[in-house]
Amino acid sequence: MKKTLFFLFIICYSFLNITKASSLFEVNQQIIHFTNTGGVSFVKITMNGKQWTCSSNKEWCKISKKSSSNPIDQVAVIVSSNDNKNSRSAQLLFVMDSVDTLRVLILQTIRASMYPNYCVSIPPDSSKMQSEAKQLASKIFAGWNLGNSLEVPENETKWGNPKTTQRLIDAVKASGINAVRIPCAWDSYTEDEHTCKISKWWLNRVKEVVDYCYKNNMYVIINIHWDGGWLENNPTYDKQESVNDKQKAMWEQIATFFRDYDEHLLFAGTNEVHSNGQATAENFEVEMSYNQTFIDAVRSTGGRNSFRNLIIQSFNTNIDQAVSNLIVSKDEIPNRLMIEVHYYDPWDFCGLENDESWATVKHLWGKDFAQYGAISSWGQENHVVTQFQKMKSTFVDKGYPVILGEYGAARRSALSGKQLKYHLESRAHFFLYVAEQAKNFGIVPFIWDNGSGNNMGNGLFNRYDGTIIDDQALKAYLMGASAGKYPY
C-alpha cells in the first residue's frame, strides 16, 4: 500500500503530447528498439503548425534533420553499434512552434542476460481469449485485493494473515465481487539467486490460489509486487540492466507456467515503481523499460499469452505521472493493454497515522462531513472527478482501459463516540464515491484489503473464516460499483 503520496504537486518532464485542443502534432511511433548492431529507423511527423524542431540527448543516437516546416515529414534515426555491450536508452525531443512537445524513446538492449533464457515459445493460441481490453474490463463488476499475503517475502503468513483458502475466496465471490488482484512476491521464492529460477512449489502455490478464483468464475490479476524492493525502488540507469534481466527471467517463467489459462487471468508487470526523492526523466525512462521488458517477455512465450490482456503501470502508479510521463509500451498485439494507477488521495485521510510537517491527520472526507470536523484542503469529491477525467481522456478514450489496482482508506477504529461514527460514515462515502466515479470514467476499481480488522487496518473479510468484518465499507463499495457505468 502506498506510503507517500504528498509529492503530487511536482511537475515532471513530459513524455506524452502536450498539445492545445486545436493543435495537430503526431509521430507514428513513440518507442523504437535497436539491436547491438544499431541501424536506422524512421519517425514520421505530422503537424499543422509552422515548424518543428528535433534533438537527441545522446551522441550515439543521431537524427537526419533538426527542423522542418513541412506538414508531413520524416526523420531518420541513426543508432551506432553498441561496443560497450550494455543496454542503453536515448530520447528524441520534438517541439512544434516552441510550444507543443513530443518525446520518442530509443531502446538498445543487446547484452546477453545474466540469467538463463526461460522462454520456450509455442504457436499463438487465441482460443478462449476473444475479449480485447475494453471488452474484458467491462466484465469486471468490482475487484478486491488479496493484500499482505502472497506478496510477503519468504512466507505468506509472515505479516499476520493465515494461508489463503478456498473458503475465503468463496466468501469474496458471494459478496458480489467478481475479480481478485493477487499481489505476488517471486524473488525470495527462487531456488538460486544466480539463475533466478522460481521454485516449482511456489508457482504451484500461486496457481492454487488462482484456481480458487477460477472455481468461482472470477477474473484474476497476478503481478510482481514489492518483492523486497528489487523492482520497485529507485529506477536508475545503473540498475536498469540487472533489473530488466531479472524482470525478463521472472516473467518468462510466470507466463509460461500460466500460459494455458484463459482470458480470466491477467498479468500486471510491476506495482509501485518509485524514486527515493523527486522523480527525474531518468526514473521515468527506466521505469518504462521495465514495462516494455514485461510485455516482450510475456508475448515471447506464445500460446494464449500471445493474446492475453496485460497491464502496465505509471510511475509510482500515480495518476498525474501517468498523464504527464507514461508512454504506452509497444505491443505486437493490438488492443490488449491496460494502464494501472492507484488512488489514496488525500493521504492525510486515507493512511496518515501521525501529524507531519506537510499535513495533519484527518478523520473525515467529503464536503458534507466538513460540518463535523476538519477535512483535507484537497482531494475531495471534485478532485476525484478531475483525476479520473484525466485518465479517461489520456488513456481510456484512446483504447486503454484503466485498472485502479488499489484504493482505500484505513479504518481509524481507535476513535470513539460521534468521532468514530462520522469517520466511518465519511469513509463509506469515500468508498462509494470513488468506485462509482471510477467506473463512470472507464476505470476498473479494486479495493485494498490487507486482512487487518485493527485500528488503521483495511480488512473487509476475516481471512480465517471468510466472514465480513467491515460490512459498512463493503456495502458502500459495492453500491458505488453498482451505481457506476463504464463508458464502453
Encode pLDDT of 231-286 as tens digits.
999 999 999 999 999 999 999 999 999 999 999 999 999 999 999 899 999 999 99
Which pLDDT does position 55 carry in this prediction? 96
Helical spans, DSSP H, in 93-225:
133-137, 166-174, 200-214
The CATH number of the domain covering residues in 122-483: 3.20.20.80
pLDDT, average across residues 399-427: 98
In the numeric block, the cell 473479510 is attached to 461
Q: How confident is the model at residue 46 (pLDDT cuts 50, 70, 90)?
A: very high
**Could you tell me the CA-to-CA distances from 399 to 134, 289, 335 in Å, in that order?**
7, 21, 7
Consecutive H or E run containing 427: helix 417-440
pLDDT, average across residues 173-182: 98
Which pLDDT does position 6 carry in this prediction? 40
Q: What does the block give as the cell for 233? A: 525502488
Helix, strand, coil % over all residues of the chain, rounded to 5: 30, 20, 45
- Parallel, antiparallel, or unpaired: how do β-strands 337-343 and 265-268 relate? unpaired
pLDDT, average across residues 109-119: 83
Tens-place pLDDT, residues 301-340: 999 999 999 999 999 999 999 999 999 999 989 999 999 9
Which pLDDT does position 23 carry in this prediction? 81
Beta bridge partners of residue 108, listed in sequence order: 34, 88
pLDDT, average across residues 98-103: 91
3-state class of 392 per DSSP?
helix
* Per annotation, catalytic residue among 151, 287, 406, 425: 406
Structural domain boundaries of the chain? Answer: 25-108, 122-483
Q: How confident is the model at residue 89 (pLDDT cuts 50, 70, 90)?
A: confident
Q: What does the block give as the cell for 175? A: 459478496
The CATH number of the domain covering residues in 25-108: 2.60.40.10
Measured at the CA of 403, the angle between CA 214 and CA 311, to 5 degrees, comes to: 75
pLDDT, average across residues 121-140: 96
Consecutive H or E run containing 218: none
pLDDT, average across residues 186-205: 97
Residue 14 has pLDDT above 80, yes or no: no
What predicted TM-score, i.e. pTM, was given to this entire model? 0.82
Which pLDDT does position 13 carry in this prediction? 36
Q: How confident is the model at residue 85 (pLDDT cuts 50, 70, 90)?
A: low
Q: What does the block give as the cell for 188? A: 525470495
Q: What does the block give as the cell for 325? A: 510521463
Tens-place pLDDT, residues 420-430: 999 999 999 99
As a whole number of angstroms, the distance between CA 439 and CA 246 comes to 35
Residue 22 has pLDDT above 90, yes or no: no
Q: What does the block give as the cell for 457? A: 487496518
Which pLDDT does position 19 carry in this prediction? 38
If one counts every other C-beta atom within 10 angstroms of the C-beta of residue 468, the result is 17
As a whole number of angstroms, the distance between CA 315 and CA 275 comes to 9
3-state class of 330 per DSSP?
coil
Residue 358 has pLDDT above 90, yes or no: yes
* Per annotation, catalytic residue among 132, 252, 263, 272: 272
3-state class of 104 per DSSP?
strand
Q: What does the block give as the cell for 239? A: 540498475
pLDDT, average across residues 105-130: 88
- Rg of the chain, C-alpha, whole Å: 23
Residue 14 has phi, psi (to 5 degrees) of -100, 135
Which pLDDT does position 421 carry in this prediction? 98
As a whole number of angstroms, the distance between CA 122 and CA 8 comes to 44
Distant-in-sequence, close-in-space partners of 130: CB < 8 Å, separation ≥ 6: 263
Residue 205 has pLDDT above 60, yes or no: yes
3-state class of 10 per DSSP?
coil
Residue 21 has pLDDT above 70, yes or no: no
Beta bridge partners of residue 468, listed in sequence order: 461
If one counts every other C-beta atom within 10 angstroms of the C-beta of residue 355, the result is 10
241 noted as active-site residue: no
pLDDT, average across residues 84-88: 67
| Distance in Å from the first CA to the final CA of the chain | 29
406 noted as active-site residue: yes
pLDDT, average across residues 95-99: 94
Residue 380 has phi, psi (to 5 degrees) of -90, -165
